[in-house]
Amino acid sequence: MTLRSLRLRLFVAATIAVIVSLALAGFILVELFERHVTRQYDAECQSFLRQLSSAVEFQADGGIALSRHLDDARFGEPLSGLYWQIEEDKSGRILGSRSLWDARIPLPKDYLAQGAVDSHVLPGPQGAPVRVQERMITFDLPGGSRALRMAVAIDLSEITDARRAFASDLWPSLAAIGLLLLAATWFYIGVGLRPLEGIRRSLNDVRTGASRRMEGNFPAEVKPLVEEVNALLAAQDESLGRARARATDLAHGLQTPLAVLQSDAERLRAGGQSDIADGMAQLARQMRRHVQRELARARTGGATAGRSALLAPVVERLAASLRRTPAGEALAWHLNIPKAMRVAADPEDLTELFGSLLDNACKWARSEVRVEAVVEHDKARIAVLDDGPGAPEAALDSLTDRGVRLDETVPGSGLGLAIARDIAAACHGDLQVSNRPGGGFSAMVVIPSQPKSARDA
């Protein structure tokens, strides 16, 4: 399967789309997860801020202390990643959680609205970045008001670690989803392209002669294509019929003039004008060859256009006719053809094909003519054999060319094997000629066979 395959192209495009979509979805999900975790940490820190503001108390010497510890034990663990800090703007007093140890968070001196919460990312203990939730609260005391800047901070590494853990779980899951999607895509592509296989089979039936038209329950999207092909086949059949009719009319129309010309040549020869008679006879033979050639062309123009036929009746009828000729009457005829064998060809084309081969065998055979037929896979192999002198090996390659005659003393036009070759080729087959090992000549026709259930044309 190459990139010229429609199935593979669709699958490659779907694979790229799935990979890009899942990768984009993965990054978006990780980003959304990080935002969610950040909001959760911000909400937690703001909750600690509220606890911190409710626990602040002012000592007699003006110092700041907490009346109770905050709920999370990490505030008491040095460098735990969770910190709080209280700073008074006027006096510069700073009170921090034990987790800060001897470090301080450099809170900005920007203006904060009373009770509003501000968020920052600032350097924390040992320079590690922390996310800070900060608010300003003013306490009204007997000695005057005091403004405290309170902050709760959490190490950004916790958010980063949560993001990394989520991503490590997410990507394998997305990969598994991607594989499932690609498997489903391959299945859907197969289902979607299945009608094309039906079209291929239908066209093959037309080509091999099992059907004259494309038939089947095709989807609406390809129905117009099927209708156009059927219309083309119908036009081809009609054109072929007209061509055959014209060729037949031409042949019948020229038979009488050719017969008169031949008769005049004989009278001239009898009157002593042999040179003129020979010229006229040669001209008549050339005209007859041209007529036979055009008839063969018209006949082979569509030899397998949806037709099939039983082989045995055709060959038996031809053999019976040749037995009544002087040359055929003296020969033994052996026909070994399975009664049920069908071939993908028009019965008339078979008649002309094997008529030419049997007539050629009858001319050259000494005592017998054999016809052997077998089916191998989807091909029918039919051999027409005689026990004559055979042909020179050097002439075998050109023996099926038009007008080639090995012996001018034997009647004929030299077109028989050429016509047989053309008809076999039009049937998507071949004609192979050779000398038999024990002496004699073999003409092997190889054409597509038909199943027993095929109908006669």
From 98, 127, 161, the end of a domain falls on 161
From 44-48, 84-88, 328-332, 402-406, the region with the lowest mean pLDDT: 402-406
Residue 112 and residue 248: Cα distance in Å, rounded? 108
Assess if residue 194 is contained within a domain: no
pLDDT of amino acid 401 = 63
User: Does any domain span residue 195?
Assistant: no
Q: Provide the pLDDT for residue 421.
A: 86
- pLDDT confidence band for 403 (50 / 70 / 90): very low
pTM of the model: 0.54
Across 54-128, where does the E strand assignment appear?
A: 56-58, 64-66, 82-88, 94-96, 117-123
Residue 196, burial from CB neighbour count under 10 angstroms (0-12, 13-18, 19+): middle
Backbone conformation region of residue 127, classed left if phi is above 0, alpha if psi is from -120 to 50, else beta: left
Specify the CATH number for the domain of residue 102.
3.30.450
Distance in angstroms (rounded) separating the CA atoms of residues 444 and 406: 19
Between strands 368-376 and 332-336, the pairing is parallel
Confidence label for 1 from pLDDT (cuts 50, 70 and 90): low
Q: Which of 301, 321, 351 is the last residue of a domain?
A: 301
Q: At what angle do helices 416-426 and 347-364 cross, to 10 degrees?
A: 150
The dihedral region occupied by 55, where left means phi > 0, alpha psi between -120 and 50, and beta the remainder, is: alpha
Please indicate, yes or no, if residue 343 is contained in any of the structural domains. yes
Which CATH number do you get for residue 410?
Answer: 3.30.565.10
Ranges of beta strands (E only) in 321-364 are 332-336, 342-343
User: CA angle at residue 244 from 239 to 246, to 5 degrees?
Assistant: 95
Of all residues in the chain, the percent with pLDDT exceeding 70 is 88
pLDDT for the residue numbered 293: 60
How does the average pLDDT of the chain come out, rounded?
83
Tell me: do 338 and 418 sit in the same domain: yes
| Statement to judge: residues 42 and 155 lie in one domain | yes
Range of the domain at 38: 7-161
State the total domains in the chain. 3
Task: State the pLDDT at residue 133.
Answer: 93
Residues 428-450, mean pLDDT to the nearest whole number? 88
Q: Which pLDDT belongs to residue 386? A: 93
**By mean pLDDT, which of 112-126, 174-188, 245-259 is the weakest?**
245-259
The pair phi, psi for residue 379, each rounded to 5°, is -120, 140
pLDDT band at 208 (very low <50, low <70, confident <90, very high): low
Q: What is the pLDDT of residues 256-275, one digit of tens each?
A: 777 777 777 787 878 777 77
291 plus 321 within the same structural domain: no
Q: Are residues 107 and 152 in the same domain?
A: yes
pLDDT, tens digit (0-9, with 9 covering 90-100), for 349-374: 888 889 889 998 998 899 999 999 99
- Look at residue 340 and tell me if it is in a domain: yes
Please tell me the distance from the alpha carbon of residue 444 to that of residue 383, in angstroms, as a whole number.
4
Distances (CA, A) of 160 to 71, 79, 229, 304, 429: 24, 17, 64, 74, 74
User: Is residue 280 very low, low, confident or very high in pLDDT (cuts 50, 70, 90)?
Assistant: confident
Q: Are 343 and 381 in contact (CB under 8 A)?
A: no
Segment 136-167, tens digit of pLDDT: 988 888 878 888 899 999 999 999 999 999 99
Average the pLDDT over each of 106-110, 283-287, 413-417 and give the range with the smallest value.
413-417
Mean pLDDT of the region 223-250: 81
